[in-house]
Structure formats: structure tokens, C-alpha cells
Amino acid sequence: MTETQQNVDQTEIDKFSEIAAHWWDPQGQFKPLHAINPLRLSFIEEKCEGLFGKRILDVGCGGGILAESLAARGAEVTGIDMASASLEIAQLHSLETGVKVDYRCVSVETLAAEQPESFDVVTCMEMLEHVPDPASVISACAKLVKPGGKVFFSTLNRNLKAYLMGIVAAEYVLQWVPKGTHQYQRFLKPSELIKIADQAGLFTRSATGLHFDPFNQAFVLSDRNVDVNYILQCEKS
């Protein structure tokens, strides 16, 4: 087994493969991703000053919810994932909608060796907490983006509030996602992620929190609170 292949948790791959058929059901097991996708898309589009014509890589694309949305904005999108079952769903949905996305079953580390500095934008959303070595993924994302290009990471903070909201509430009380979706020890504090990104040559431009507003029953973005879910916006020097 090569070094790049080792940064895969087969348990995680199997977990998402088992529920791959539900990727595009907005009321199913990926309902939270459908709910937050418009926020993620508009955030990325705003920070990139438009997406049309840009070459974008979506790392850990799953069933293609974000990747297809980016492509629909006129970007040239490549989506990669190590769960072939999820990619099959993504490819089928792309054929149905006519929104073209280049999907590949390849690790981000392998692609970084093949295509360094090839993308204007790299997104890696809700993926770092599912791999054994997130630093390896972050480093690969830095290698893949062009100088001056932007990289977006989203993950969960590691603290008591994030445990209660991201695992206890989301998985067991509200049942937004399947039980066992997250492992608390793999959550990353913003300070940790910023440090790893800096070591990889990525300058952090902003950290923005993603919150659920119970009064309006909707997700919102706020740069004042990164206690649970958050998005890190980086730029390659």
C-alpha cells in the first residue's frame, strides 16, 4: 500500500457507500447538506468574486451536491472521492441534469502529484473529520491550487459544545445524520487548522461559523461564532 492510499479510513468509505443512494434526497440522510449547500455556494462565490470560467476542484465531493452547484454557476469542476458508490450516484445525477462535472475516484494526494497548481479554487467541505491524516489532505490541497488561488475548508470544532451539537443533537436527538457519522477525536479546532494550513503555504483570510437558527428553522453564517461548524477561507501565497 502506498503512502497516499494509507490516508483512507475504509470504515468511513463503507459508511458512506451504504447510504450512497440517498445523496440526492433532500429529505433523506443528507438533508443537512442540502440545507447548507446554498449558503456554502454563495459564500464561495462571493469570496471568489464569481465562479464563471474558474477551474475548481471539490475534494471529498460525495454525491456531488456542491460540485454540481459550482458547475451550474459556470465553473469547470472536478470532483474527487474515494467512495466509488457515491461517485456513481454523482455521475448519474449529472447525466440527468445535464450539468457537467468531471468525477474521479482518486485520492487528493495522488491528484496533487499528477496536477500541481492546476486549479483556481479548491474546496474541501465536511471531509477533514473523516480521514486519518487531515494535514496530508490540507497539504495536497495547497499543492493543487494555483498561486493566488483560494482554498476552502469546512469542518467541526473540537469542544464540548461541538460534541453536544454535532454528535448528540445531530445524530441522536434530531437524527439529522446517521448515528456514527462523526468521531469527536477527529474534530479540528480552528487554531489547529489554521496552523496546518499555514505550514502548507496557505494564508487564512477568514473563519466563518455555520449555525442553525431554531427560530427560523434555517442555517446561517456568522463570523462571530465558530464554536461548532465553521468554514476557513485560505489563499495560496
Question: Residue 25 contacts by C-beta under 8 Å, 6 or more apart in sequence?
Answer: 31
Percent of the chain at pLDDT exceeding 70: 97
Q: Residues annotated in the binding site for S-adenosyl-L-methionine, as ranges?
A: 40, 60, 81, 125
pLDDT at 178: 84
Q: Is residue 5 part of a domain?
A: no
Chain segment 85-110, per-residue pLDDT in tens: 999 999 999 999 999 999 999 999 99
Q: Residues annotated in the binding site, as ranges?
A: 40, 60, 81, 125
| Domain that residue 94 falls in | 10-156+189-236
**Cβ(171)–Cβ(201) below 8 Å:** no
pLDDT at 3: 41
Question: In angstroms, rounded to a whole number, what is the distance separating the alpha carbons of residues 131 and 114?
Answer: 21
pLDDT at 207: 97
Query: How many domains does the structure of the chain reveal?
Result: 1
Q: Rg for the chain (alpha carbons), in Å?
A: 16
pLDDT at 1: 31
What 3-state DSSP class applies to 211?
A: strand
Q: Is residue 198 part of a domain?
A: yes
**Cβ(48)–Cβ(54) below 8 Å:** yes
Mean predicted confidence (pLDDT) in 53-76: 98
pLDDT at 53: 98
What 3-state DSSP class applies to 21?
A: helix
Q: Is residue 141 part of a domain?
A: yes
**Cβ(176)–Cβ(31) below 8 Å:** yes
Q: Is residue 211 part of a domain?
A: yes
Confidence of residue 179 (pLDDT cuts 50, 70, 90): confident
Q: Is residue 183 part of a domain?
A: no
DSSP H or E run through 155: strand 145-156
Mean predicted confidence (pLDDT) in 64-72: 98
What 3-state DSSP class applies to 101?
A: coil
Q: Is residue 116 part of a domain?
A: yes
Chain segment 38-60, per-residue pLDDT in tens: 999 999 999 999 999 999 999 99
Confidence of residue 4 (pLDDT cuts 50, 70, 90): very low
Q: Is residue 197 part of a domain?
A: yes
Mean pLDDT of the chain: 94
Does pLDDT of 6 surpass 80? Answer: no
Mean predicted confidence (pLDDT) in 126-136: 96
Q: Is residue 174 part of a domain?
A: no
Confidence of residue 2 (pLDDT cuts 50, 70, 90): very low
CATH classification at residue 136: 3.40.50.150
Mean predicted confidence (pLDDT) in 4-20: 84
Confidence of residue 174 (pLDDT cuts 50, 70, 90): confident
Write down the pTM of the prediction.
Answer: 0.93
